[in-house]
Amino acid sequence: MSTRTSTRGSGTEIAGSTAALLASRLRSLGEQRSLSAGLLILAVVVFLALAGEYLTPFDPTLSVVAVGGKIHNIPPLLPPGSTVRIDERTELLFVLGTDHLGRDVLSRIVTGARFVLTVALVATAISAAIGVTLGLLSGYVGGALDRVVSLVMDSMYAFPGLVLAIAVAALLGTGILNMATAIAVVYIPSYYRMVRGAVLSLKSLPFVEALRVMGMDTPSILFRHIAPNALYSIIAVLPMNFADAVITEAALSFLGLGISPPTPDWGYDLNTGRRYFLSGHWWIGAFPGMMIVLTVLGFLLVGEGLGERFNPRRLMRR
């Protein structure tokens, strides 16, 4: 507690305890603040993913626009804030410019949210499901099973996650489920370790022994009594997993293992924008990149808020 610094100059004990109270209030407010800031960011990104095409001024996959029944080509590589005059009455504004094919960058980053979030959601679900199940079984059963699974999980944990994901993605190919599987592989050990640790400490508690004495069978003890208690431990991992999944999805797309064009995707657009970065057309890649950063930051803030609430001594893990 930092009462020492907060009472500096106040002198009296009452003022000291008030200051301490205030400090702890402020701290929990700060915790709340990072949680609510994160949730706000995520709400916006999820809204973009759901609303998608209904919000965008142009079709994200087309380099033409229909005005007054006629099809007009959109010029490529327009810088942000450019306007194009179609006729006397209509002038089109490209807030974030257009890409090398004349597609509106704003429309692409808005609709790009959908694919990333879907992949991240599916990936998180897969790795949580597998990791938690393995952790529960391994922790409760123990013995040879525990040793073997732990060895495999520790080895996977030490392996560079991205390289694992690349290897799997290169094999499975593109598509939501395939990419999600490739990303999911990376995070299974994190859930496994958390849940296994929790189960190990839970199973020696008296209530488990009492259940056993009462004649309850192992699956019921494990899934109805231990699992709900052990699952608390993964609450802080979930948002981190999400954040990592978004980054890994972008990385796979960036390496050319993502979805096939023209579906908008931040990582893919960043990869396209890469070639134009050096020629000064920075906006093609810069804005999708910013969306990735923002989304990851959102998950990170939520994770931090939850992490502080559930486990104050937890360090950030990459």
Please identify which residue in 247, 259, 302, 306 interacts with other proteins, judged by CB under 8 A: 247
Residue nearer to other proteins on the CB measure, 135 or 289:
289
Under DSSP, the state recorded for 61 is: T
Beta-ladder partners of 104 = 98
Residue nearer to other proteins on the CB measure, 31 or 59:
31
- Nearest CA-CA partner of 188 in 242, 134, 139: 134
Site residues (CB under 8 A) for other proteins, limited to 170-189: 170-173, 178, 185
Beta-ladder partners of 299 = none
DSSP helix/strand/coil, 70:
strand
Q: Is residue 29 within the footprint of other proteins (CB under 8 A)?
A: no
Q: For residues 38 and 45, what is the distance between their CA atoms, to the nearest angstrom?
A: 11
Q: At what angle do helices 283-310 and 105-141 cross, to 10 degrees?
A: 30
Name the segment binding other proteins (CB under 8 A); options: 63-71, 79-87, 113-121, 162-170: 162-170
Residue nearer to other proteins on the CB measure, 125 or 167:
167
Q: Is residue 312 within the footprint of other proteins (CB under 8 A)?
A: no
Please name the residues in contact with 278: beta carbons below 8 A apart, sequence gap of 6 or more: none
Q: Where are the alpha helices (DSSP H) in 203-235?
A: 206-213, 218-220, 227-230
In the complex, the smallest distance separating the C-beta of residue 146 from other proteins, rounded to whole angstroms, is 15
Q: Is residue 141 within the footprint of other proteins (CB under 8 A)?
A: no
Q: For residues 123 and 246, what is the distance between their CA atoms, to the nearest angstrom?
A: 10
Locate 301 and state its tokens.
């803030």
Name the segment binding other proteins (CB under 8 A); options: 71-79, 89-97, 218-226, 296-304: 296-304
What residue ranges bind other proteins (CB under 8 A)? 5, 151-152, 155-164, 166-168, 170-173, 178, 185, 243, 247, 250-251, 254-257, 270, 273-274, 277-278, 280, 282, 285-286, 289, 292-294, 296-297, 300-301, 304, 315-318
